[in-house]
Amino acid sequence: MAAESTPAAPCGRLAPVLLTIINDRALTETGLTATPQAIADRNAAASTTRIVVCADDYAFTPGVSRAIRELIAARRISATSVMTGSEFWPAEASALKVVAGDADIGLHVTLTDQAPLGSMPTFAPNGRFPPLAAVFRNGLMRRLPLAEIEAEIERQVAAFVTHYGAPPAHIDGHHHMHQLPGVRDIVVRIAARVGKGRTWVRSCAEPPGAIVRRGVGTPKALIIGALGPGIERRARATGVPFNRGFSGAYDFAGETRSTAELFRRFVTGLSANGLVMCHPGYVDASLIGRDPMTRAREQEYAYLMSDAWPALLAEHRLDVGPLVRP
């Protein structure tokens, strides 16, 4: 039952005034001065909404990795997810550590299209993961060899720690396969163990109505969003943190709207600790022939590095940073 509206409490009306007085007094006592604009800027910053902007596919190729590092260094994004099965990861790890700062550096569990780090006679008998459609179908039908998959995810975690020197700040999945039945239990269990309450997992859950209103990659977003509540329930039961809201899915090949328009839709209505997924990168020889997503990566990079991105964040009163843990 909705509560009856009542006049605002005096303390509620006085809060902004008290905050200004406290700020002024603190500055005076430390021998500093503050202009009215500085105080206004500080108070405005306190009212922004924190979101996570995460670039997937670090270490996929050198060009993708370099673009992501530049965006982290410029504080245009606040997280990246690493494909530790890539042959480029050992060389790209040290450069990432230099620029990481407080960004969340996590593991991008890979179970599709690439090569595993170890033997998987049932899941990848020819030394290569099955394509996305096959993994998705078998996951929904609960026909995945989970013991082999758990061993492979453990290998990918170990490769992360070996070359980065710390556990992953979060765990998500290439093509969102970490949300599949069975796989999600493994991911949450590993996150709880390696992170000791700090490693979070990605949920792609969104209300269907929000996806439809956004109008971007609607069928794709509805499918991956439907798998999100399952991983959230397991994370909540285990005490593993997770993001609260998700956006960023679109048709990389068929989308005709500008990158600026897509990101405007991605951030609109996003709640605190919501996550925007992105895939920036430079197209290099390693990427061509390895992945069909090429031009879209450069477009995303150019937009995120432009003045339009921080202007959009300011317009929506958003602050980009690492996930706020409980």
Q: Considering the domain boundaries, does residue 243 fall inside one? A: yes
pLDDT at 46: 58
| CB 126, CB 88: distance < 8 Å | no
> For residue 208, what pLDDT is reported?
96
Total domain count for the chain?
A: 1
Distance CA 73, CA 108 (A): 20
Give backbone dihedrals phi and psi of 188, rounded to 5 degrees, phi first.
Answer: -65, -40
Query: Do the domain assignments include residue 11?
Result: no
Strands (E), 68-183: 79-82, 104-109, 170-173
> Is residue 238 a part of any domain in this protein?
yes
Whether 240 is covered by a domain: the verdict is yes
In a domain, 16, yes or no: no
Phi/psi at 269 (nearest 5 deg)?
80, 5
Q: Does some domain include residue 3?
A: no
In terms of residue numbers, what domain contains 251? 50-320
- 13 within domain boundaries: no
> CB atoms < 10 A from the CB of 142, how many?
10
Question: pTM of the predicted model, to two decimals?
Answer: 0.85
DSSP state string for 174-212: GGGGGGSTTHHHHHHHHHHHHHTT--EE------HHHHH
For the chain, 326 residues long, give each residue's pLDDT as a single digit of tens: 444 333 344 344 444 433 333 344 333 333 344 554 444 445 445 589 999 999 999 999 999 999 999 999 999 999 999 999 999 999 999 999 999 999 999 999 999 999 999 999 999 999 999 999 999 999 999 999 999 999 999 999 999 999 999 999 999 999 999 999 999 999 999 999 999 889 999 999 999 999 999 999 999 999 999 999 999 999 999 999 999 999 999 998 888 999 999 999 999 999 999 999 999 999 988 888 887 777 899 999 999 999 999 999 999 999 999 999 98
CATH label of the domain that carries residue 281: 3.20.20.370
* Rounded-to-integer distance, Cα 152 and Cα 167, Å: 16
What ranges make up the beta strands (E) of the chain? 49-58, 79-82, 104-109, 170-173, 200-201, 246-247, 274-278, 318-320
53-84: b or e for each residue (b if 16 or more CB lie within 10 Å)?
Answer: bbbbbbbbbbbbbbbbbbbbeeebbbbbbbbb
Residue 112 in any domain: the answer is yes
Map residue 242 onto helix, strand or coil: strand
Please give the structure tokens belonging to residue 145.
Answer: 């060899």
Residue 247 — φ and ψ, nearest 5°?
-160, 170
**Element housing 259 (H / E):** helix 259-267
Token pair 């979070």 is found at 200
